[in-house]
């Protein structure tokens, strides 16, 4: 399988490139030295449900790691275990050399940001941000200075005296962020912090959070169920399902080389096509060789086809060393603004989605529903996963 590094795939992000980014990126990391997190064999049950099932996870010092999975997969449980707000049944969590599994939350020196902001409504902005400092006995002018610096970092200078109910959703989340990092936490944890914001603001805040992370240099664990958000923000992504860690890798590898059908299906769009394996381990789709299973024991293999990696080939195109060609009938072509999506029914009626740009250069050779079309897949873009496709 080819692992070409690519830009974040798919359609354009909608982020306006002229947008002024709010956090300075040139500042050197400040605060305490970043710590790695080492999680071993972590299990947490609620009755018969394994919210976490023997999870092993290493978060590198200073990295931005995202826990990505569907609702109910155990993301919050894992984050709360790191923060100390729940007690796992077994396992170990280390911050650097320190075993923290028995350490109460307030002694873990962790900053937390929640989807709900969880600000104190009766305190103004400055008092909210200053609260963690107050708890640590930092008073007077030092506290005021650090609150002011934090306000500046999140682009809210001058907002200190405002009441929380005088702020927009995005501003509230910036206050929550400032409160989470103002005391120089060893670890920063965020649980779906952008979910309450509208799409445009969310995409802008994704980039801002990335910049903030670079500035602070603090080890960060971020939770989202949004695969696009995870691809946009993360150094590495931990894909979680049913309390288990399924795959841990960079966004590029998770997207280009998913470990199984769950990851392939959950991240990005795909059509899954079952393959036949011969005795020598060669893998075929409809008689065309697409890859090799090698010495692997598995009998079931699946070809994962990403819509944006397919293209319309000329009428006479045939499979060769470079390209796999599938022939079919154009069922539907739908304009979606920045791209167009076509559905092509190949031989047995299986529908394959093809995404192409709307720049005028990228149009398919045929565009009338019912036309015979050939779609091409570069062999470098072939993704093969073990097992049958997800139900
Ligand atoms: P996520 O954050 O990925 O949506 P959670 O960690 O909240 O998932 O939940 C994982 C599983 O544990 C789910 O099945 C959920 O219903 C269960 N769970 C979480 N918290 C509790 C709780 N306090 N009591 C009982 N079950 C819980
Ligand atoms: Mg959750």
Collapsed DSSP state (helix, strand, coil) of residue 14: coil
Based on the domain organization, do 231 and 301 belong to the same domain?
no
In a domain, 56, yes or no: yes
Cα-to-centroid distance, 244 and ligand 2 (Å): 15
Q: Which of 262, 282, 299 is the last residue in one of the domains? A: 262
Q: Phi/psi zone of residue 337: left (φ > 0), alpha (ψ -120 to 50 degrees), beta?
A: left
Q: How far is CA 33 from CA 29, 82, 218, in A?
A: 9, 18, 8
Strand order of the sheet with strand 187-191?
Answer: 110-114, 187-191, 219-224, 64-68, 236-241, 244-249
pTM of the model as a whole: 0.87
**Closest to 57 measured CA to CA, from 81, 37, 75:** 37
Based on the domain organization, do 105 and 163 belong to the same domain?
yes
In a domain, 8, yes or no: no
The phi, psi pair for 159, rounded to 5°, reads: -95, 0
Beta strand spans in 163-281 (E): 187-191, 219-224, 236-241, 244-249, 271-277
Name every residue whose Cβ is closer than 8 Å to that of residue 72 and which is 6 or more positions away in sequence: none
Based on the domain organization, do 128 and 227 belong to the same domain?
yes
Beta carbons of 113 and 194 less than 8 angstroms apart: no
Task: Enumerate residues with CB within 5 Å of ligand 2 (an ion).
Answer: 76
Contact 76 CB / ligand 1 (< 6 Å): yes
Collapsed DSSP state (helix, strand, coil) of residue 127: helix
- Nearest protein Cα to ligand 1, atom 27: 46
Residue 191 β-bridge partners: 114, 223
**How high is the pLDDT of residue 15?**
35
Task: Round the CA-based radius of gyration of the chain to a whole number and report it.
Answer: 24
Based on the domain organization, do 253 and 163 belong to the same domain?
yes
- Nearest protein Cα to ligand 1, atom 17: 51
Ligand sitting nearest the alpha carbon of 193: 2
**Closest to 349 measured CA to CA, from 271, 282, 287:** 271
- H/E segment holding residue 352: strand 351-357
The phi, psi pair for 346, rounded to 5°, reads: -95, 165
Q: Which of 232, 262, 292 is the last residue in one of the domains? A: 262
Beta carbons of 65 and 220 less than 8 angstroms apart: yes
Per-residue pLDDT tens digits for 204-217: 999 989 999 999 99
Based on the domain organization, do 57 and 204 belong to the same domain?
yes
Based on the domain organization, do 210 and 356 belong to the same domain?
no
| Cα 75 from Cα 270, distance rounded (Å) | 24
Q: Which of 228, 262, 296 is the last residue in one of the domains? A: 262
**Closest to 63 measured CA to CA, from 273, 217, 238:** 217
- Nearest protein Cα to ligand 1, atom 22: 46
User: Using CB atoms within 10 A of its CB, is residue 379 exposed (0-12), middle (13-18) or buried (19+)?
Assistant: middle
Q: How far is CA 231 from CA 99, 262, 382, in A?
A: 31, 16, 20
- Determine the structural domain holding residue 186 and report its residue range: 15-262
Collapsed DSSP state (helix, strand, coil) of residue 134: helix
Contact 51 CB / ligand 1 (< 6 Å): yes
- Give the mutation target among 45, 72, 195, 245 for probing the ligand 1 site: most ligand atoms within 8 A of CB: 72
In a domain, 10, yes or no: no
Cα-to-centroid distance, 75 and ligand 2 (Å): 6
Number of domains, the chain: 2
- Hey, what are 8's tokens? 């974040």
**How high is the pLDDT of residue 4?**
36
pLDDT in tens, the chain (391 residues): 333 333 333 333 333 333 333 333 334 344 457 999 999 999 999 999 999 999 999 999 999 999 999 999 999 999 999 999 999 999 999 999 999 999 999 899 999 999 888 999 999 999 999 999 999 999 999 999 999 999 999 999 999 999 999 999 999 999 999 999 999 999 999 999 999 889 998 999 999 899 999 999 999 999 999 999 999 999 999 999 999 999 999 999 999 999 999 999 999 999 999 999 998 889 999 889 999 987 766 889 999 999 999 999 887 889 999 999 999 999 998 888 888 899 999 977 899 999 988 776 656 544 677 888 999 999 999 999 998 766 5
Per-residue pLDDT tens digits for 79-135: 999 999 999 999 999 999 999 999 999 899 999 999 888 999 999 999 999 999 999
């Amino acid at each position: 399988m080819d692992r070409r590094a690519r830009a974040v795939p798919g359609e354009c992000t909608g982020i306006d490139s002229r947008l002024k980014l709010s956090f300075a990126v040139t500042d050197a990391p400040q605060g305490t030295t970043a710590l790695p997190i080492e999680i071993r064999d972590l299990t947490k049950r609620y009755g018969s449900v394994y919210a976490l099932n023997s999870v092993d996870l290493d978060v590198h010092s200073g990295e931005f790691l995202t826990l990505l999975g569907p609702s109910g997969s155990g993301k919050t449980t894992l984050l709360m275990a790191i923060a100390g707000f729940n007690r796992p049944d077994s396992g170990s969590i280390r911050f650097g050399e320190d075993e923290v599994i028995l350490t109460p939350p307030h002694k873990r020196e962790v900053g937390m940001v929640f989807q709900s902001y969880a600000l104190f409504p009766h305190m103004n902005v400055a008092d909210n941000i200053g609260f963690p400092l107050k708890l640590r006995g930092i008073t007077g002018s030092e506290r005021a200075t650090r609150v002011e610096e934090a306000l500046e970092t999140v682009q809210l200078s001058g907002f200190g005296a405002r009441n929380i109910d005088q702020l927009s959703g995005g501003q509230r989340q910036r206050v929550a962020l400032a409160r989470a990092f103002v005391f120089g936490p060893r670890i920063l944890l965020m649980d779906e912090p952008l979910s309450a914001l509208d799409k445009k603001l969310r995409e802008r805040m994704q980039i801002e959070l990335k910049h903030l992370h670079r500035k602070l240099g603090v080890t960060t664990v971020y939770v989202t169920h949004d695969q696009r958000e995870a691809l946009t923000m993360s150094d590495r992504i931990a894909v979680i399902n049913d309390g288990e860690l399924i795959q841990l890798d960079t966004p590029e590898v998770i997207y280009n080389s998913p470990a199984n059908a769950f990851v392939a299906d959950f991240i990005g769009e795909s059509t899954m096509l079952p393959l036949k394996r011969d005795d020598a381990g060669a893998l075929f789709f409809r008689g065309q060789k697409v890859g090799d299973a090698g010495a692997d024991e598995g009998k079931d293999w699946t070809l994962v086809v990403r819509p944006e990696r397919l293209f319309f080939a000329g009428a006479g195109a045939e499979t060769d060393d470079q390209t796999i060609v599938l022939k079919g009938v154009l069922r539907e072509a739908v304009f979606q603004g920045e791209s167009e999506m076509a559905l092509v029914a190949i031989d047995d009626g299986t529908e394959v989605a093809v995404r192409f740009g709307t720049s005028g250069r990228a149009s398919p050779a045929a565009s009338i529903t019912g036309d015979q079309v050939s779609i091409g897949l570069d062999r470098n873009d072939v993704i093969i996963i073990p097992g049958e496709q997800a139900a």
